[in-house]
């Protein structure tokens, strides 16, 4: 019965009939169905079909996580990580990320790598960060691929290797990862791990810039000002320049962290950019 209710709820959810989906997920969850409990937590977290309520999201994620559901474990870890619906607690975030990552959840593996890289809830350990990023990256996670590229790029937890950094940035960039695209452009601009190629640098910066990445937009403007690119797209460059001059100037950043939303019923990942 619980599974049938869940299946019907999924159909409603996929048709964007969120209120109907919520009611059926709730009925299924109350029967103890772990997948429904996780999805109910997600709907409370995102405010789909019900008023947003992080406390209830945490409650339902916990019910599912305690049954061993890896996605719910990852999601509960995320709530502890950012203090949403629960008191912020990095150690508890790590606890749930570990449980999820051990089951092979790629987002949890990436997030656990982040916790090790930054010493949040666990002693800082770049080698372990690399270990978990690699597990996730090898299974195709774009955020983990970008992060692993950064570790090779910076020589944190692993021998610095620009060629491998470029390789992982490329894997992430071709999936449309905005930060990886910018980072790959940087490798081409500076000839790190690849032959210096301003045309390819501009190409990757542009892909990233068109998705709104400010670092990539700044890099394009800088390359144009330095005479390292040719463009007829003066209108776009002018608009980007206007946006930058209207906002507070930002210092050059390394190791920048951003949150990237993932698919429904999963949490968010943390990624780096160089620049």
Tens of pLDDT, residue by residue over 18-70, are 999 999 999 999 999 999 999 999 999 999 999 999 999 999 999 999 999 99
The two most distant CA atoms of the chain are separated, in Å, by 67
Distance CA 65, CA 45 (A): 15
Report the alpha-carbon distance of residue 228 to residue 147 in Å, rounded: 28
Half-sphere exposure of 113 (CA within 13 A, CB side): 32
Strand partners, 259: 270
235 DSSP assignment: H
What are the tens digits of pLDDT across the range 105-126?
A: 999 999 999 999 999 999 999 9
Q: What is the CATH number of the domain that holds 190?
A: 1.25.40.10
Is 106 within the bounds of a domain?
no
Residue carrying structure tokens 């996670």: 141
pLDDT (tens digit per residue) in 252-261: 332 323 222 2
Let me know: does 194 contact 187? Beta carbons within 8 Å.
yes
20 lies in some domain: no
Residue 161 lies in a domain: yes
Residues of the domain holding 196: 142-275
Cα-Cα-Cα-Cα torsion 80, 81, 87, 90, nearest 10 degrees, comes to 100
pTM for the structure as a whole: 0.84
């Amino acid at each position: 019965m619980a599974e049938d209710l869940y299946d019907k709820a999924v159909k409603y959810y996929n048709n964007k009939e969120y209120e109907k989906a919520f009611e059926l997920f709730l009925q299924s969850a109350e029967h103890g169905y772990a997948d429904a409990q996780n999805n109910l937590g997600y709907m409370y977290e995102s405010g789909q079909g019900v008023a947003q309520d992080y406390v209830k999201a945490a409650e339902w994620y916990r019910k599912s996580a305690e049954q061993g559901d890896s996605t719910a474990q990852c999601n509960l870890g995320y709530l502890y990580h950012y203090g949403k619906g629960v008191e912020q607690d990095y150690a508890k975030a790590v606890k749930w990320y570990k449980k999820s990552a051990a089951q092979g959840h790629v987002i949890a593996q990436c997030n656990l790598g982040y916790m090790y890289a930054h010493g949040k809830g666990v002693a800082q350990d770049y080698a372990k960060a690399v270990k978990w990023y690699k597990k996730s990256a090898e299974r195709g996670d774009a955020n983990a691929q970008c992060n692993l590229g950064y570790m090779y790029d910076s020589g944190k937890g692993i021998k610095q290797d620009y060629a491998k950094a470029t390789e992982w940035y490329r894997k992430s960039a071709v999936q449309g990862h905005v930060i990886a695209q910018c980072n790959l452009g940087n490798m081409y601009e500076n000839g790190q791990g690849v032959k210096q190629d301003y045309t390819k640098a501009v190409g990757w910066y542009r892909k990233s810039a068109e998705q709104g990445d400010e670092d990539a937009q700044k890099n394009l403007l800088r390359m144009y000002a330095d005479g390292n690119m040719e463009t007829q797209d003066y209108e776009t460059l002018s608009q980007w320049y206007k946006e930058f001059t209207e906002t507070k100037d930002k210092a050059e950043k390394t190791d920048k962290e951003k949150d990237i939303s993932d698919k429904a019923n999963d949490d968010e990942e943390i990624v780096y950019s160089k620049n």
